[in-house]
Amino acid sequence: MDFAVGMRALVLAATFLGVLAGEAAAQQSGPGEPTERSEPSAGGGGRDGGGASGNSRVDRFYRGDDRPPPGPSVEVRVIEEAPPPRRLRRPESRRGETRRAAPQRRVARRAPPPPPAAAEGEDTAAVRAALPPARSDELVALGLDEGTLATLAGQGFTVRERFALATLGDIVRLGIPGGTTPDAARQSVLAAAPAAIVDLNAIYIPGAEACEGLACGQLRLVGWPVVEAGGRCGEGIVLGIVDTGINPSHPALAEADVTLLPVLGAAPRVSRESHGTAVAAVLVGAGDPRIRGLLPEARLVAADAFVEDASGRTHTDAFRLVAAIDTVAKEGPDALNLSLTGPANLVLEAAVNAVAEAGVVVVAAVGNDGPTSPPLYPAAYDAVVAVTAVDANRAIYRRAVQGDHVDFAAPGVDVWTAASVSGARPKTGTSFAAPFVAAALALARHNGAVDRGAAVDRLAAGVEDLGAPGRDTVFGWGLMGAGGLCGEETAFATASE
C-alpha cells in the first residue's frame, strides 16, 4: 500500500514538474516566436486519444510519432531532451536578413571578361603595351632621292620597300644597319638629306570595341536624318576609310556601294574583318533591317592597312598606313575616317597634312586608352578632326582619351552595327563615334561648305554643349547634331521614334 502511495506521489510530482518545464519553454520562445510544431495535433491528447491535447507545448516534445508512450492510466507527460529542430524554414528575423543581404552579391553585374584581341574588344592600352611602339630595325622617310639612297646604301642602309605617293613623292622603308640604334640611324639619314622627313616606323592598332550592353539609340541621340536606301541624302558623296579588312558579303553591306582598294600595288592578305566591317556598316550599312547606315547612298572606298602578327594581334606600321591613306585619298573622298591610334610620327603627320591640304576632311578616333593617356595619333594632329564617344545618356565613354585636341563627341557606346561574319551586335569605342562626325562633315562639304574649316564651323554651330561651357578637354565643342545637314525637307530621327 505504501509502495502504491509512493508511486502515485512520484507520478504527481513528475506531472507537476512537467507543467512547470512546459511553461518555462514557452516563456523562453518569446511572443511571436513559436518553436517547432507549435500547432496542436488532431487526436493527440488524453488517454483515449480523443480531442486536442491539453497542453500542446508539452505534447510536441514527444519523440518518434509524437504520441504519448504507453503507461499507467494516469495522463503522463514525459519531458525528454528535445531533438535538434528541423528548420523547414528560417525564422522571420533570419529571413528578413537574407533578403536585405542578397543585392550586395551583385552576381548579375559581374563585368564580362575582355575579348581576346584588340579588334574584338581588348583594352587598347593593354594591346599597345604588348606591341613594340615601332619596328626596331626600320625607318620611314620622305624626300630621299636616288643619290641619297646610294649614299645610305654605302653606310649599310637597305631599301626594304618603296611606294610612290600621289602628293609627297616616294615613301621609303629603310632597313637600319646592324648595331645601329634607330635614333642614331635617323640622324645619319638626316645628315645625308637635311630636308628629308624621317622617323621610326611606328606601330598603330585599330580602335578596340567592347560589347557593354544592348542599347541602340545613336541616330536619335544626334537627330540624324532618316535615310533609307534609295533616298537622296548622301547621294554623290564619297567616304573613305583606312581600317582592317571588310567583309563585303556581310548582309549589312549587301546593298552598299563599297570598293576595296589594294595597298602597295597588290591585293594584300586581308586582316581580321570585324573592326573594318563594323565601321563600314555604321557609315553606309544597307541591306540588313537591323542596321541603318548613316549614308547608305554614299560610295565607300576602303583600304586594309593591317596585318596579324604571330600572336594574332592586329596592327600596322607607319609605312603601310601612309601608303593606305594615300591610296584612299587618290579616290577623292569628301571625308576620310581613321578609327585607329598610335604614336606621333613625322611621316604620318606629313601625309595627313597633305591629304587635308588636298581638300579631304580627315577624321580620327581619339582612342580608348583611358582619360589619363597622352594624346594618340593621328587624332591629335591639327589637321585632323578628333572624335570622342558618349553613351545614350550623353555621358563620356569611360575609356576615351581626353585632351585639348578633342573636337566633337558622338555616339560610341552600344552602337548597333555589323558583326564580322554575319548578324549584328552593339559595339563600343571611339572607333564607332568617328564615323558619325565623318559622315556629318562629308554632308556639310557636299552641301555647300567650301572647305574643311567651313564644314567644321557648320557642325560646331549645331552641337549640344556638354561638360564645361564652351570647348573642353572631355567633349570638345560638344555632342554633334545633324540637324539641317540634308535640307529642310528631310525627316530626322527624334527621341519619340
Cell numbers 541616330 correspond to: 219
All 3 cell numbers of residue 320?
Answer: 603601310
Query: What are the C-alpha distances in Å from 212 to residues 215, 416, 429?
Result: 9, 12, 10
The pLDDT value given to residue 231: 56
Question: What pLDDT is attached to residue 226?
Answer: 59
Q: Which of 202, 222, 240 is the last residue of a domain?
A: 202
Q: Are 65 and 74 in contact (CB under 8 A)?
A: no
The residue written with cell numbers 486536442 in the block is 52
Q: Are residues 258 and 335 in the same domain?
A: yes
Is 468 within a domain? no
Query: Across the 497 residues of the chain, what is the mean pLDDT of every consecutive 10-residue run?
Result: 56 54 46 38 39 39 39 38 37 34 31 36 55 88 96 96 93 95 95 96 77 47 62 84 92 90 77 90 82 88 90 91 96 97 96 96 96 97 97 94 97 85 85 96 89 92 92 96 66 36
In a domain, 104, yes or no: no
* pLDDT at position 486: 73
Strands 335-338 and 384-390: unpaired
The type of residue at 296 is P
Question: Residue 322's domain spans which residues?
Answer: 204-460
The answer to whether 348 and 374 are in contact (CB under 8 A) is no
Q: Give the position of cell 610612290.
A: 164
77 plus 134 within the same structural domain = no
The domain tally of the chain equals 3
Q: Looking at the domain assignment, is residue 417 inside a domain?
A: yes
pLDDT at 487: 59
Identify the three-state secondary structure at position 396.
strand
Same domain? For 174 and 33 the reply is no
418 in any annotated domain: yes
Of 81, 97, 129, the residue that ends a domain is 81
Cis ω before 194 (30° cut-off from 0): no
Same domain as 224, residue 193: no
- 180 and 213 both lie in a single domain: no
Distance of CA 84 to CAs 61, 87, 163, 372, Å? 11, 9, 87, 60
Start-to-end CA span in the chain (Å): 101
CATH number at residue 300: 3.40.50.200
Does the predicted model carry a pTM greater than 0.85?
no
